[in-house]
């Protein structure tokens, strides 16, 4: 029986990939059948036998090209993360990758994060792809703006890498709540101020019957301080300078942002203030397993939602009869709001598999062949069935299972500018505590305990002291700088480098 299952599994796999292999090889010119090696390195620590990487990116290519052997080149000496000795700094994955790219036996293809792409381009380590695209008439016109325009922006208008898939967010809204309030539905290309004004029209009620106009998340009891990073990212607001030596929050722009959001909280546009010391008021039960989600519970008119969350909402609506406490939601999505100063720029886009060709590639022909393959139409068709990642080609971005919603909202946006702070967080592992000071000061503002500018000045002062202490002793916890009432609860807070 096990043998039969194994044969069926292999047969299904071949049935899926064989058409793709044929489609992607039928137009290629005949090449020598002797084995060639294509070397790939990443800044993510994948090793030679990494099953996830091979399943995601290389297995189908190798099946279609049996004479090309893929070698994944490790860029760290210890892929299992050996504990650091006292005072020892963690290695910088990007610097290690750049070192390998310039070594004696360099990789042909490299994969990086979007935050790292500009650095590698500016270091003149990647081959410009535009001439290759033109030569082979490789069609990029069908690639979504969220990907192709974002990649061009990193290369100052030129392409040095491509990305086959991405994840993104959009503004979801509850149609019934807008109809009941007599308000117009949200639309694409709205500004943040327009969204906030619309939210005021639908927010109403108190206590358990309260309807909130907007939230940066659909989850109950969201922390507004961390949620608002979606709002501040396109403004390129920074908490500290690029060297992590000085805070940069005692400014008019920070004051404007905090003042606006604090007033919206006071106007009951956002959900109630998050208090980590209190348990969740709404617990999951058998009648309504979605009580933790304000949108799916009908308590939220608009919220930011990731594409991966859509399948849960669709499934819940289809199976509503099985949940006594759940009422189906009539919904749709529009593009992320943007600022007047950064129209069309959203803050929640992540490109997967950003790959380019090393200028020192020993096998540039196969490197370009591989990049074309995983960014081609047939690959997009195969990968378009994912419920969590979106393919970069618009042709294969369609709602699944007969659903009808505004899919374009997830890709007609540009990624927000971001700074790669991972190096700083490696040098100063307790840097997240600087954010926690800001979170507590913002809580004081929301509770009416402190004026906005006074809270920012306090954050600046305490943060400067903490940064100084961290520079003097990077491995020290640094909590001695903060008064006890500034630490807040013991809730662990994850660092969010994108906000700097």
What is the domain-level CATH number for residue 318?
A: 3.40.190.10
Which residue in 37, 17, 121, 13 sits closest to 420, CA to CA? 121
Whole-number percent of the chain with pLDDT over 70: 82
Whether residues 174 and 55 share a domain: the answer is no
Does residue 232 sit within a domain? yes
| Per-residue pLDDT at 276 | 60
Residues 242 and 277 occupy one common structural domain: yes
Residue 448 neighbours by CB under 8 Å, 6+ apart: none
Q: Give the pTM.
A: 0.82
Average pLDDT over residues 367-381: 96
Q: What are phi and psi of 300, to 5 degrees?
A: -130, 130
Residue 374 lies in a domain: yes
Q: How many CB atoms lie within 10 A of CB 14?
A: 11
Do 311 and 190 share a structural domain?
yes
Express as a percent the part of the chain with pLDDT over 90.
Answer: 59
Greater confidence, 483 or 419? 419
Looking at the fold, whether 301 and 211 belong to one and the same domain comes out as: yes
Q: How far apart are the first and last CA of the chain?
A: 56
Q: Is pLDDT at 490 greater than 50 in this prediction?
A: no
Domain annotation covers residue 17: no
229: in domain: yes
Q: Return the bridge partners of 219, or none.
A: 293
Selection from 355, 371, 372, 364 nearest residue 108 by Cα: 364
The rounded distance, in Å, linking the Cα atoms of 194 and 203 is 14
Is residue 247 helix, strand or coil? Answer: strand
CA distances from 242 to 31, 115, 155, 246, 436 (A): 49, 14, 21, 9, 19
**HSE, side-chain direction, 13 A CA sphere, residue 291:** 14
Greater model confidence, 400 or 110: 110
The H-assigned helical ranges of 289-431 are 307-318, 364-374, 377-383, 422-427
What's the pLDDT score for residue 430?
84
Max mean pLDDT among 8-17, 212-221, 367-376, 396-405 falls in 367-376
Whether the per-residue pLDDT at 279 is higher than 60: the answer is: no
- Give how far Cα 335 sits from Cα of 165, 185, 198, 202, 239, Å: 18, 13, 15, 19, 27
Q: How much is the pLDDT for 498? A: 33
C-alpha 258/C-alpha 484 separation (Å) is 23
174 shares a domain with 298: yes
- Quick one: average pLDDT of 463-468? 94
Query: Facing residues of 237 across strands?
Result: none
Q: How confident is the model at residue 299 (pLDDT cuts 50, 70, 90)?
A: very high
Indicate if 106 and 142 belong to the same structural domain.
yes
Supply the pLDDT for residue 285.
57
Write out pLDDT tens, residues 401-446: 778 999 999 998 888 876 667 778 878 888 889 999 999 999 999 9
Q: Residue 339: which of 198, 193, 153 has the closest Cα?
A: 193
Q: Is the pLDDT of residue 243 over 80?
A: yes
- pLDDT beyond 60 at 200: yes
Instruction: Give the count of alpha carbons within 13 A of 276, CB side only.
Output: 14
Residues 6+ apart with CB under 8 A from 394: 142, 143, 144, 411
pLDDT band at residue 289 using 50, 70 and 90 as cut-offs: confident
Distance CA 442, CA 449 (A): 10
150 and 183, same domain (yes or no): no
Give the pLDDT of residue 291: 82
Residue 232 sits in the same domain as residue 122: no
Instruction: For residues 481 and 469, give the distance between their C-alpha atoms in angstroms, rounded to a whole number.
Output: 8
What are the DSSP calls for 173-214, one per residue? EEHHHHHHHT-PPP-TT-BHHHHHHHHHHH-B--GGG-BEEE
* Residue 413 resides in a domain: no
244 and 172 in a common domain: yes
Q: What integer is the mean pLDDT of 282-287?
A: 55
- Is residue 287 included in any domain, yes or no? yes
Q: What is the pLDDT of residue 466?
A: 94
Instruction: Indicate the SS3 state at residue 80.
Output: coil
What is the Cα–Cα distance from 119 to 117, expressed in whole angstroms?
5
Q: 499 with 233: CB under 8 angstroms?
A: yes
Q: For the residues of 263-276, what is the DSSP string, one character each?
A: HHHHTT-SPPPP-T
> How many CA atoms within 13 Å lie on the side-chain side of 283?
4
Question: Does residue 497 lie within any of the structural domains?
Answer: no
Range of the domain at 178: 168-334
d(Cα 248, Cα 245) in Å, to the nearest integer? 10
Q: What is the pLDDT of residue 58?
A: 93
Q: In sequence order, which residues have a C-beta less than 8 Å from that of residue 5 and are 6 or more positions away?
A: none
State pLDDT tens for residues 74-108: 887 554 455 555 555 667 888 999 999 999 999 99
**203/133 same-domain check:** no
Residue-level pLDDT at 52 = 87
SS3 490: coil
Do 316 and 368 lie in one domain? The reply is no
Q: How far is Cα 100 from Cα 102, in angstroms, rounded to an integer?
A: 5
Number of structural domains found in the chain:
3
CA 43 to CA 349: how far, in whole Å? 19
Instruction: Show the tokens assigned to 194.
Output: 């327009």
Beta bridge partners of 112: 354
As given in the structure block, the two tokens for residue 90 are 């963690």
> Does residue 483 fall inside a structural domain?
no
Does residue 346 or residue 127 have the better pLDDT?
127
**177 and 157 housed in the same domain:** no
CB 161 within 8 A of CB 354: yes
């Amino acid at each position: 029986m096990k043998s039969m299952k194994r044969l069926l599994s292999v047969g299904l796999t071949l049935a899926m990939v064989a058409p793709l292999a044929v489609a992607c090889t039928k137009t290629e010119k005949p090449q020598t059948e002797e084995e060639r090696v294509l070397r790939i390195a990443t800044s993510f620590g994948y090793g030679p036998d990494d099953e996830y990487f091979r399943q995601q990116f290389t297995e189908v290519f190798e099946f279609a090209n049996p004479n090309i052997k893929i070698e994944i080149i490790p860029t760290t000496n210890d892929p299992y993360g050996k504990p650091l000795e006292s005072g020892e700094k963690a290695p910088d994955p990007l610097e290690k990758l750049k070192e390998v790219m310039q070594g004696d036996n360099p990789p042909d293809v490299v994969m990086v994060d979007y935050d790292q792409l500009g650095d590698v381009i500016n270091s003149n380590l990647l081959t410009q792809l535009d001439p290759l695209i033109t030569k082979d008439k490789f069609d990029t016109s069908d690639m979504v703006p969220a990907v192709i325009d974002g990649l061009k922006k990193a290369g100052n208008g030129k392409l040095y890498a491509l990305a086959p898939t991405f994840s993104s967010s959009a503004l979801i809204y509850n149609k019934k709540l807008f109809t009941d309030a007599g308000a117009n539905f949200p639309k694409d290309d709205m500004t943040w101020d327009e969204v906030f004004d619309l939210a005021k029209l639908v927010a109403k009620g108190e206590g358990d019957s309260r309807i909130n106009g907007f939230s940066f998340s659909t989850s109950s009891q969201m922390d507004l301080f961390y949620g608002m990073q979606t709002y501040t990212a396109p403004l390129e607001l920074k908490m500290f300078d690029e060297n992590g030596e000085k805070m940069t929050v005692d400014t008019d722009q920070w004051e404007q942002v905090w003042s606006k959001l604090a007033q919206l909280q006071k106007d009951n546009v956002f959900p109630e203030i998050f208090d980590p010391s209190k348990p969740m008021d709404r617990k999951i039960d058998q009648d309504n397993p979605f009580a933790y989600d304000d949108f799916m519970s009908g308590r939220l008119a608009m919220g930011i939602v990731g594409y991966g969350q859509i399948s849960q909402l669709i499934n819940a609506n289809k199976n509503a009869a099985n949940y006594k406490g759940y009422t189906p939601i009539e919904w749709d999505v529009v593009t992320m709001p943007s600022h007047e100063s950064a129209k069309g720029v959203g803050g929640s886009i992540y490109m997967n598999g950003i790959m380019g060709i090393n200028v020192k590639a020993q096998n540039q022909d196969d490197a370009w062949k591989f990049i074309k393959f995983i960014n081609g139409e047939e690959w997009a068709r195969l990968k378009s069935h994912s419920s969590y990642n979106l393919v970069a080609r618009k042709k294969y971005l369609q709602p699944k299972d007969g659903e009808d919603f505004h899919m374009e909202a997830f890709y007609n946006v540009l990624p927000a500018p971001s700074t790669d702070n991972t190096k700083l967080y490696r040098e100063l592992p307790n840097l997240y505590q600087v954010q926690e000071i800001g979170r507590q000061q913002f809580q004081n503002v929301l509770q009416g305990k402190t004026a906005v500018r006074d809270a920012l000045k306090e954050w600046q002062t305490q943060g400067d002291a903490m940064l100084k202490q961290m520079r003097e002793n990077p491995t020290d916890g640094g909590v001695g700088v903060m008064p006890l009432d500034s630490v807040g609860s013991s809730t662990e807070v994850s660092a969010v480098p994108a906000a700097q």
